[in-house]
Structure 1
Amino acid sequence: MKIRYFSLLLLLCVLTGTFSLRAQKRPLLPPPNAPAQTARTELPLTATESEVHVQALPADSTVVLLVGRIRSLSNESSFSFQQYDHALHLRQETPLEVPDEFEFNRMCAEGNTVYALFSSRSKTGRLWVAAYNGQLGQTRTQQYETRLSREIVELKALDGRLLATVLLNDQQHVTVLLLDVANGQMQYLSSIYEPMPTQLTSVADAASRRAEYVLTQTNGRKSRLLLKQLTEQGQLVSSEFVQTESERSLITAQITPPQDTTARLLMGTYSLRDPNYAQGLFATDLRASANSGTKPPLRFYDFLRLKHFFDYLKPSRQARLRERTERRMARSVPPLRWRYRVLLHELRPQPDGGYVLVAEVYYPHYRYNSYGNVPGNFNTGYSPYGSGYANSRVFDGYQTTHALVCGFDRSGTLLWDNTFVVNNLRRYSLEEAVRLQNLPDGRLVLAYLDDDKIRYKLINRAETSPNDHAVPILTGTGTDGGKENARDTSQSDLMPWFGSRFIATGYQRVRSERGPDREVFFLNSVVF
């Protein structure tokens, strides 16, 4: 009887396991309101033998690629601009002859023109710029001997000129370099010359021919903001300080674009004592009141006052945190000091006249090894017995925990907040990773790429909604009718395009059910 009993039990387990495996193989249903991937284009390129840089152009619903291919029997690359229409059909391809000594640095756009900036490998400070206008089918190039610039920190276009924020050779100061692509002239803007470490944000608008910079000035204990407005030729129009009289310090901020002449808002982060970590958000209306002639005071919003900021924590931990804070307030004890690093996105104007601010909360991630110290700024391992016994700490990218999104009215009053809790989001350069797009019904969508998946969250002001929506990047059906799956997605990115569309890009290995695998660079149109 015992043998028969165990045989039946074993058979039941096998059958149950079989049914479980079959259930696991069933395709998961897409979440509600899942995006449609309406078009896809593949380029037969590999990450080891090519480089592709993508610039979305909402102005004419196209996307421009700068494609570099390694020449045979050489380590040099041949480049070309490729422009695709809204359906991702190739509209035109224009070769670009890049001198061999240059390597790609950054790309930006203004209207229908794409600017690609290259840096010399052999001579510090030598730059090369290509301006591509797809409508005219023309490319203009210029070379610059800047001499003093060492690293390009940011690049923006303004009325046919480039404003490049640069770190100087002394590695102690940051300034702005104005590059005129039409005539090849250049100049350093003496109105912006700040010691490091300076946080800097900027906005530029061709219609008003203005650019505005927000710079951080600190004495190590307290920091303030300096606002400077420039013309398209780099001339200083106005300058003003924004600071607090309390113990708060202003870390960094974003300002509304110059083309909005009816509002001038400043929104950013502030700290308590330590200017490296954010305690919360601040907002202010920079326009003087018509009645009093004075500017409204700054409004401060501690992270704890926000409804959704701590959604990335487990509910039990959130409850303990709020209880601890309430006890401190009851005893009139100073508030808890948070240790958050925040990356601010540019302010996004909304149909109702207000603005949306997205802020990514991140921390530097490190990995450790026991193979001794490796030269580098991020390695801190030490051993009195020699480097062979030290555990080295090696920088391994910036890890994002969540993205905060807030809605403000035209006076800078906070109306609502929400949070997108993210997973597996790490990048090596401190740039935007979570992307925002407006939807026709007034909602917002935050999204990013995670390997071969598109993760997203639909935002309806402060309403609670799921953080775990995800859909795979679709490859379609093979030419032989077999199913295909994406594998080994790398160097991927998701960028806002036009309307409610994103453009998803990256390298992939596509596995076909009936044919051989292929390696491609893909473009997917993602419509919410």
Structure 2
Amino acid sequence: MIKRLAIGLWSLLLVACLPALAQFEPSARLELPISPNTEEFFDVTTLGDQGLLLNIRQSDYYSSAPTKFLFRRLDTNFKQLWANEYKIDPFYEPVRSCRTEQYVYWLLKETQNEKVAVMRVHLADGVIETFKGDLVTPMDIFHFKVLDNVAYLGGYYRSRPVVVSFSFFDLTSKVLPGLYTNHIQLNNIEVDEERRLVHVMTDATHQRNCEFTVRTYSYEGKLVRTVNLDGRAHSLISGKLLPINDEESLLVGNYSNDCTPYSQGVYMTRIRNSAATVGASETGENMAITPTEDTRFIDFSELQNFFNYMKPKRQQKLLERLARRKDQGKDTKFRYRLLVHDLVPTDEGLMLLAEVYYPQYRGGAYPYLGSGRAYDRYQEGYRYTHAFLCGFDKKGKLLWDNSLSIPDLSSYDLHQMVQVVRHGNSTVLAYPHEGEITAEVIQGGKVVKVQEKYSLKKLGEHEKVVYSENDQLEAWYDGHFLACGIQKISTERSMAPPREVFYINKVTCNFKDLNANPANWSSNPEGGNATRKTSESKQ
């Protein structure tokens, strides 16, 4: 049977400990045996110093038994605080999940009709509620967000974008207006809990002209504002919003010059979001932004450290070629696929982190109608090359940039691998790989600690790991970390077969001279709101 793992990484902040200043010490371990006869899906949600939530979903494709959700709330020493179990009809399939401060939500959908269910788990006491209803239209769902007592589901029906709001009060759903048209792609959905607004971002192509649009809806689903960013000169590929005050938000993402998903650089623009602005636009009228005046476009060639992932000789040749072309008045266009993270607020403004990747294909030749040979290619995952960061001030000015080489990373599913934490004016970039983490320390555009690997594996005497997969590491609380994944472990001098387990390790980082050096770190006590799914979330 298939064993699947999804770690709910609700914080993007990962802490790296420098060996001269600190060391990792596994201080507690929890092992859950994996059943050989049941498909199991593991999900861990960290809750800071309040512990964690463990969810094990069990199902059997060969029977009509209900799908079982097993929830366990554990404290920071893995002592169980409460446990609850929920069963749901097997024709409901989990689609997406998200988290708010008090709850974790799972969206489930029947495969053959428009029936949906939202399962809500109260983190404090484990009370589980389920809200079942019907969508107003069949749709393939790719986005799921919750604001108070309304869920927002984004997807497609007959190749057209649809966003549906589903109320937990009366179990009714309705389609948000202004989206169901041809040639529009649903880009992103973000909720603003403070202002009770929902932002839906789309991109469209009309006669070779690309347009990026941010539609803002009230909590009740009324269109209150539309912001269009014309793409005649630059086509916006993605957008992430970060409110910087009650008056404005910053919209940041990547762009191309030819209406393709291949990036040539990053952009930033400011959007007014005051109550007065929204109130003045209750008719949903357009608020046009002229990119040449209000949007800053930064080509990859303008970044000082973007190409640092290359070997020195290759990088030098590239920079020399760029300089020659610039002297000749010629532009060099780059074509990169980017996975853009949520924006990280900083004291100066914000930090943008993105990973560069490309799809991996495998194929073979086969005879075709007796003449020549044809080739059949299929995608087998994604390969990462590097990640880069950009620091901006609150007015959108680029302050610095840096990069991290990640040449050994590949994944069947596209998801965020590199994680960051800031401490003072320093930043750690780190990613997990095969039971280890690779970390680098930077200060703005300067590298102050080059990449090093740190092992996290420590088992009992005479034990060894046969294989380890889906290893994840997350900053937890007060210098503690959470490492988890799937391992097969054998015991020396024993004839028993290796055991396969889902493990959770509490890892303590013993800091030394914490305040003596800016490259000493502490975990983020507040956490974040990022999710990561290896088997269900799709980009």
Q: TM-score range by the shorter chain?
A: 0.7 to 0.9
- Separation of aligned partners in 2, 1:87 and 1:489: 23
- Separation of aligned partners in 2, 1:499 and 1:253: 33
Letter in 2 for 1:254: K
Match of 1:508 among 463, 482, 487: 487
Letter in 2 for 1:450: H
Count of aligned positions? 474
Letter in 1 for 2:268: A
How far residue 332 of structure 1 moved from its aligned partner, in angstroms, is 1.1
Retained in 2: the 8 A contact 1:128–1:143?
yes
1:428-507 correspondence runs (5 A): 428-439=412-423, 441-465=424-448, 468-474=451-457, 476-478=458-460, 482-495=461-474, 497=476, 503-507=482-486
Q: Deviations over 1:61-84 (max 9, x none)?
A: 433232123469847442212222
Q: CA 1:385 to 1:162, structure 2 compared with 1: closer, same or farther past 3 Å?
A: farther
Retained in 2: the 8 A contact 1:131–1:181?
no
Q: TM-score with structure 1 length normalisation? A: 0.80
- Separation of aligned partners in 2, 1:320 and 1:55: 46
Letter in 2 for 1:248: H
Greater displacement, 33-42 / 337-346 = 33-42
Matched, 1:206 2:193: yes
- Separation of aligned partners in 1, 2:477 and 2:209: 41
Greater displacement, 38-47 / 298-307 = 38-47
Letter in 2 for 1:99: D
- Separation of aligned partners in 1, 2:181 and 2:78: 43
- Separation of aligned partners in 1, 2:411 and 2:20: 27
Q: CA 1:410 to 1:124, structure 2 compared with 1: closer, same or farther past 3 Å?
A: same
Q: TM-score with structure 2 length normalisation? A: 0.79
Matched, 1:403 2:403: no
How far residue 250 of structure 1 moved from its aligned partner, in angstroms, is 1.9
- Separation of aligned partners in 2, 1:75 and 1:454: 41
CA RMSD of aligned residues (A): 3.2
Retained in 2: the 8 A contact 1:126–1:147?
no
- Separation of aligned partners in 1, 2:374 and 2:267: 43
- Separation of aligned partners in 2, 1:112 and 1:60: 15
How far residue 220 of structure 1 moved from its aligned partner, in angstroms, is 6.4
Retained in 1: the 8 A contact 2:161–2:186?
no
1:51-130 correspondence runs (5 A): 51-58=40-47, 61-70=50-59, 74=63, 76=65, 77-121=67-111, 123-130=112-119
Equivalent residue number for residue 241 of structure 2: 255
Retained in 2: the 8 A contact 1:263–1:287?
yes
How far residue 520 of structure 1 moved from its aligned partner, in angstroms, is 1.0
Matched, 1:308 2:308: no
Q: Deviations over 1:163-200 (max 9, x none)?
A: 221222x1x11221212234422222123335466251
Structure 1 gap ranges (5+): 1-28, 289-293, 373-381
Equivalent residue number for residue 357 of structure 1: 352
Match of 1:336 among 303, 307, 332: 332
Structure 2 gap ranges (5+): 1-17, 274-288, 510-520, 522-539
- Separation of aligned partners in 2, 1:185 and 1:496: 39
Question: Quick one: percent identity of the two aligned structures?
Answer: 27
Retained in 2: the 8 A contact 1:368–1:391?
yes
- Separation of aligned partners in 2, 1:157 and 1:496: 25
How far residue 222 of structure 1 moved from its aligned partner, in angstroms, is 3.5
- Separation of aligned partners in 2, 1:459 and 1:33: 18
Retained in 2: the 8 A contact 1:124–1:147?
no
Report the secondary structure of 1:521's partner residue. strand
- Separation of aligned partners in 1, 2:118 and 2:405: 39
- Separation of aligned partners in 2, 1:227 and 1:276: 18
Using CA pairs under 8 Å that are at least 6 residues apart, name the structure with larger relative contact order, 1 or 2.
2
Match of 1:280 among 258, 261, 265: 265
- Separation of aligned partners in 1, 2:64 and 2:468: 24
- Separation of aligned partners in 1, 2:136 and 2:414: 26
Q: CA 1:165 to 1:349, structure 2 compared with 1: closer, same or farther past 3 Å?
A: same
